[in-house]
Amino acid sequence: MTETPTPEVDEDVLEHLYEVFFGDLGLCGCGSPDEGWKLIHAILTECGKPQWTVESRNALIDSIGPPGVVHLVMSLLDDVLLEHGTSYWSSWLTDKGKWTLWAINTVGLDNLEVKLDEVGYPHDGGDCSAECYRIPAVEAP
Protein backbone atom coordinates (compact mmCIF):
# COMPACT_ATOMS: atom_id res chain seq x y z
CA MET A 1 0.00 0.00 0.00
CA THR A 2 2.74 2.49 0.88
CA GLU A 3 6.37 2.61 -0.05
CA THR A 4 9.10 2.98 2.52
CA PRO A 5 9.92 6.69 2.47
CA THR A 6 13.46 8.02 2.71
CA PRO A 7 14.64 9.23 6.13
CA GLU A 8 14.61 12.85 4.85
CA VAL A 9 10.99 12.54 3.73
CA ASP A 10 10.12 10.77 6.95
CA GLU A 11 11.38 13.60 9.13
CA ASP A 12 9.71 16.37 7.10
CA VAL A 13 6.43 14.47 6.86
CA LEU A 14 6.53 13.56 10.54
CA GLU A 15 7.23 17.15 11.58
CA HIS A 16 4.24 18.35 9.59
CA LEU A 17 2.03 15.57 11.02
CA TYR A 18 3.22 16.75 14.42
CA GLU A 19 2.00 20.25 13.49
CA VAL A 20 -1.39 18.93 12.34
CA PHE A 21 -1.99 16.79 15.43
CA PHE A 22 -0.51 18.97 18.17
CA GLY A 23 -0.76 22.43 16.62
CA ASP A 24 -3.79 22.57 14.33
CA LEU A 25 -5.95 20.07 16.23
CA GLY A 26 -4.56 20.83 19.69
CA LEU A 27 -4.19 17.17 20.63
CA CYS A 28 -1.81 15.96 23.31
CA GLY A 29 0.29 12.84 23.64
CA CYS A 30 -1.34 11.66 26.88
CA GLY A 31 -3.39 8.50 27.16
CA SER A 32 -3.66 6.57 23.89
CA PRO A 33 -2.72 8.98 21.10
CA ASP A 34 -2.11 6.11 18.67
CA GLU A 35 -5.78 5.13 19.02
CA GLY A 36 -6.77 8.72 18.28
CA TRP A 37 -4.61 8.82 15.16
CA LYS A 38 -6.09 5.51 14.00
CA LEU A 39 -9.55 7.02 14.40
CA ILE A 40 -8.54 10.15 12.46
CA HIS A 41 -7.12 7.90 9.74
CA ALA A 42 -10.35 5.89 9.57
CA ILE A 43 -12.46 9.06 9.34
CA LEU A 44 -10.24 10.60 6.66
CA THR A 45 -10.25 7.34 4.71
CA GLU A 46 -14.04 7.14 4.81
CA CYS A 47 -14.64 10.83 4.03
CA GLY A 48 -12.05 10.66 1.24
CA LYS A 49 -14.00 8.03 -0.66
CA PRO A 50 -15.71 9.34 -3.79
CA GLN A 51 -18.69 7.17 -2.90
CA TRP A 52 -19.59 5.51 0.34
CA THR A 53 -22.21 3.16 1.60
CA VAL A 54 -24.60 3.68 4.47
CA GLU A 55 -23.19 0.51 6.02
CA SER A 56 -19.59 1.78 5.94
CA ARG A 57 -20.60 5.16 7.39
CA ASN A 58 -22.67 3.50 10.12
CA ALA A 59 -19.74 1.25 11.00
CA LEU A 60 -17.50 4.31 11.29
CA ILE A 61 -20.05 6.15 13.42
CA ASP A 62 -20.31 3.12 15.70
CA SER A 63 -16.52 2.98 16.03
CA ILE A 64 -16.39 6.64 17.10
CA GLY A 65 -18.89 6.23 19.91
CA PRO A 66 -22.13 7.72 21.22
CA PRO A 67 -23.69 10.72 19.43
CA GLY A 68 -22.05 13.31 21.69
CA VAL A 69 -18.61 11.86 21.07
CA VAL A 70 -19.29 11.73 17.31
CA HIS A 71 -20.25 15.41 17.43
CA LEU A 72 -17.10 16.41 19.33
CA VAL A 73 -14.74 14.35 17.15
CA MET A 74 -16.21 15.53 13.87
CA SER A 75 -16.30 19.14 15.12
CA LEU A 76 -12.61 18.88 16.04
CA LEU A 77 -11.74 17.85 12.47
CA ASP A 78 -14.05 20.38 10.79
CA ASP A 79 -12.31 23.28 9.00
CA VAL A 80 -8.91 21.68 9.54
CA LEU A 81 -9.05 18.25 7.89
CA LEU A 82 -12.69 18.14 6.81
CA GLU A 83 -15.03 20.57 5.15
CA HIS A 84 -18.49 20.26 6.64
CA GLY A 85 -21.16 19.45 4.07
CA THR A 86 -24.89 19.40 4.74
CA SER A 87 -24.02 17.09 7.64
CA TYR A 88 -20.81 15.67 9.04
CA TRP A 89 -21.41 12.60 6.92
CA SER A 90 -21.38 14.57 3.71
CA SER A 91 -18.02 16.11 4.63
CA TRP A 92 -15.09 16.02 2.25
CA LEU A 93 -11.38 16.34 2.84
CA THR A 94 -9.72 19.73 2.85
CA ASP A 95 -6.35 19.99 1.09
CA LYS A 96 -4.72 19.53 4.50
CA GLY A 97 -7.00 16.53 5.12
CA LYS A 98 -5.89 14.95 1.83
CA TRP A 99 -2.27 15.61 2.76
CA THR A 100 -2.76 14.19 6.27
CA LEU A 101 -4.30 10.99 4.89
CA TRP A 102 -1.40 10.69 2.42
CA ALA A 103 1.13 11.40 5.19
CA ILE A 104 -0.32 8.80 7.57
CA ASN A 105 -0.35 6.26 4.75
CA THR A 106 3.26 7.20 3.94
CA VAL A 107 4.74 6.94 7.44
CA GLY A 108 2.32 4.28 8.68
CA LEU A 109 0.33 4.02 11.88
CA ASP A 110 2.65 1.47 13.50
CA ASN A 111 4.60 3.17 16.29
CA LEU A 112 3.48 6.61 15.11
CA GLU A 113 3.63 7.86 18.69
CA VAL A 114 7.31 6.92 18.91
CA LYS A 115 8.03 8.43 15.48
CA LEU A 116 6.37 11.72 16.44
CA ASP A 117 8.22 11.78 19.77
CA GLU A 118 11.47 11.92 17.77
CA VAL A 119 10.54 15.12 15.93
CA GLY A 120 8.94 18.42 16.83
CA TYR A 121 7.29 21.27 15.03
CA PRO A 122 8.52 21.94 11.49
CA HIS A 123 10.56 25.02 10.56
CA ASP A 124 11.87 25.34 14.12
CA GLY A 125 8.37 26.28 15.24
CA GLY A 126 7.84 28.79 12.43
CA ASP A 127 4.74 29.04 10.29
CA CYS A 128 3.89 26.58 7.55
CA SER A 129 2.63 27.59 4.13
CA ALA A 130 0.07 25.82 1.98
CA GLU A 131 3.04 24.43 0.04
CA CYS A 132 4.01 22.37 3.11
CA TYR A 133 0.81 20.37 2.72
CA ARG A 134 1.01 19.48 -0.96
CA ILE A 135 1.17 15.83 -1.81
CA PRO A 136 4.28 15.22 -3.94
CA ALA A 137 3.25 15.15 -7.60
CA VAL A 138 4.79 11.71 -8.12
CA GLU A 139 2.50 10.26 -5.47
CA ALA A 140 -0.58 12.43 -5.85
CA PRO A 141 -3.73 10.39 -6.47
**Can you give the length of the chain in residues?**
141
Q: Which residues contact 96 (CB under 8 A, 6 or more apart)?
A: 20, 24, 80, 81, 133
pLDDT score recorded for residue 140: 52
* Confidence check: pLDDT of 3 > 50: no
Domain span including residue 113: 9-133
Whether 4 is in a domain gets the answer no
Whether 25 is in a domain gets the answer yes
Whether 107 is in a domain gets the answer yes
Model pTM greater than 0.85?
Answer: yes
Average pLDDT over residues 66-84: 92
Q: What's the number of CA atoms in the CB half-sphere (13 Å) around residue 87?
A: 4
The pLDDT-based confidence of 128 (bands split at 50, 70, 90) is very high
Whether 1 is in a domain gets the answer no
> Based on the structure, what is the number of domains in the chain?
1
Whether 141 is in a domain gets the answer no
pLDDT score recorded for residue 2: 45
